[in-house]
Chains A and B, each alone.
Chain A
């Protein structure tokens, strides 16, 4: 299934703005995260939150086709 992954802030310097990832039907959020660590090793040591379809998710969840995941480094607005 196709998952879209977005990166923001300083993480764009490691991974670009977005990648499409093909994940097995049984794929989970943390599984995808590990896959991306392999693809972008510098990501692993960074601080970030994850969102799935614009909701911040702290635990592991199953992914569905078309989900949009975002890597969100610490916010620095204002």
Chain B
């Protein structure tokens, strides 16, 4: 089973490198990329300085495999890649990288959008929002 988890933030160098690797796959005509970034929300005068992610990894990787199969079944994709952070990701850093590639743009765009929703709704991952005064609250995923 493919491991989607990386410790800490996802670097822009890693993302650039992932794009570059696809130059060899010349049947691809379109890529779509979603990047999730940790937002410095303000709650009662406290500012979110980081999110600490944890997961039930065995269940998450199994679920991700099911999602991957369903997405390949539904869309004419050449490939897809998902990377999610674990541990601390500071405000402004990247915590999710979803990358779909296809011969044509519609499949890449639609598959990427659906993947992001499935990842947020179905993967057992939890975010703890840590404030600048070292208190915390548990992240709640909102629609959209």
Contacts and interface: CB of A to CB of B under 8 A. Distances in A.
Contact of A75 (B62, B96, B122, B128): B122
B91 interface: no
A9 interface: yes
Interface range for A: 10 to 19
B126 A78 contact: no
Contacts of A43: none
Contacts of B36: 78
Contact of A10 (B96, B121, B124, B126): B126
Given A78-B116, A78-B141, A54 B96 contact: no
B126 A76 contact: yes
Interface of A: 6, 8-10, 51, 54, 70, 72-78
Contacts of B19: none
A51 B62 CA distance: 13
Interface in B90-143: 95-96, 116, 119-128, 138-141
